[in-house]
Amino acid sequence: MPVVLNRHQGKVAIVTGAGQGIGLGVALRLAEEGANVVIAEYNAEKAQAAAESCSHFTRALAYPVDIGETDQIEQMVRDVVATFGRIDLLVNNAGVLETLPLFDLTPEKWDWLQRVNQRGLFFCLQAVAKQMVAQVPESVKAAGKADRSYGKIVNFSSIAGRSGRPYAAHYSAAKWAVISITQSAAGYLAPYNINVNAVCPGVVPTPMWDEIDRVQAERFGLEPGGWIKKTIDSVPLKRAATPADLAAAVSFLLSEDADYITGQTLNVDGGVEMN
Ligand SMILES: NC(=O)c1ccc[n+]([C@@H]2O[C@H](COP(=O)([O-])OP(=O)(O)OC[C@H]3O[C@@H](n4cnc5c(N)ncnc54)[C@H](O)[C@@H]3O)[C@@H](O)[C@H]2O)c1
């Protein structure tokens, strides 16, 4: 059982895509550690159910939003500030994936994926970071150096952002972009002491993986479950990750324990990538 600390007491956290899978695990962990959580999720029913689960620990708000729409993101930031007074933490977790052979990747499929995984992630970061900077006192801004952390952001990349995947060229491109967005934002926001880091999950059985397995197993003539089994067999630690494994890493990066870490990308993948 993971050790649950109390590191986010009273903080206000937005977690995108927190209606299921890894994002739900992250939201629950932050709530357990005392943060007020905003479930920023496309699917309104899942957002509501996730917020109800988190509300056993803390104050939780279901916020149905499409992060591909910048006006919705900006409205969300205004509404969260109106409800909670400020924003301290952002987890940019929402993502989509459809595996496709290289030659079947159309401009429409390309744009569909980048709209969420790259563009949506960037504009969530931009809107929330603007709010975090607005929360920094003018005297601190004038000094050009902050006395304490004024916000923390974690972006979801993937091991597919560390090396290109043959059946997910669009996804790998987006997840590589997430690493560069993380570095650009970390540099820009460093004078405000706002930390920006990324995580790269490996294999985490979630609804996203159910679909990958269904399509890839059929493509390669395997039984259902065959593709994910083959993938897990190649993990050095010989097991899949759980959402809780990712949540533990994210919670650490959002905590004071990670005050001196920024611009980094952490593989949480059982040893698949060792860079
Ligand atoms: N599962 C894995 O093995 C794995 C591996 C590497 C990286 N990742 C990344 O981790 C993140 C979470 O993955 P997951 O497996 O939990 O995925 P998932 O598909 O199970 O959940 C993603 C959630 O994001 C939401 N979402 C999708 N588009 C959205 C939008 N436009 N606006 C708001 N919400 C939206 C979905 O409704 C869903 O609730 C993703 O960024 C994914 O790329 C996952």
State in Å: Cα 252 to ligand 1 middle: 20
Nearest to 245 by CA among 274, 273, 205, 195: 205
Atom of ligand 1 nearest to the CA of 160: 6
Cα(245)–Cα(134) distance, integer angstroms: 33
Question: What are the pLDDT digits (tens) for 192-224?
Answer: 999 999 999 999 999 999 999 999 999 999 999
For range 86-106, the mean pLDDT: 98
Which residues participate in catalysis according to the annotation? 171
Q: Which domains does the chain have, with CATH numbers?
A: 12-202+250-267 (3.40.50.720), 204-240 (no CATH)
187 CA to centre of ligand 1 in angstroms: 26
> Is pTM beyond 0.85 here?
yes
Task: Give the residue whose CA is nearest to atom 23 of ligand 1.
Answer: 17
Residues 7-65 pLDDT 10s: 999 999 999 999 999 999 999 999 999 999 999 999 999 999 999 999 999 999 999 99
142 dihedral zone (left: phi>0; alpha: psi -120 to 50; beta): alpha
Atom of ligand 1 at shortest distance to CA of 159?
6
Say which residues have a Cβ less than 8 Å from residue 154's Cβ, sequence separation at least 6.
90, 91, 92, 196, 197, 198, 199, 250, 253, 254
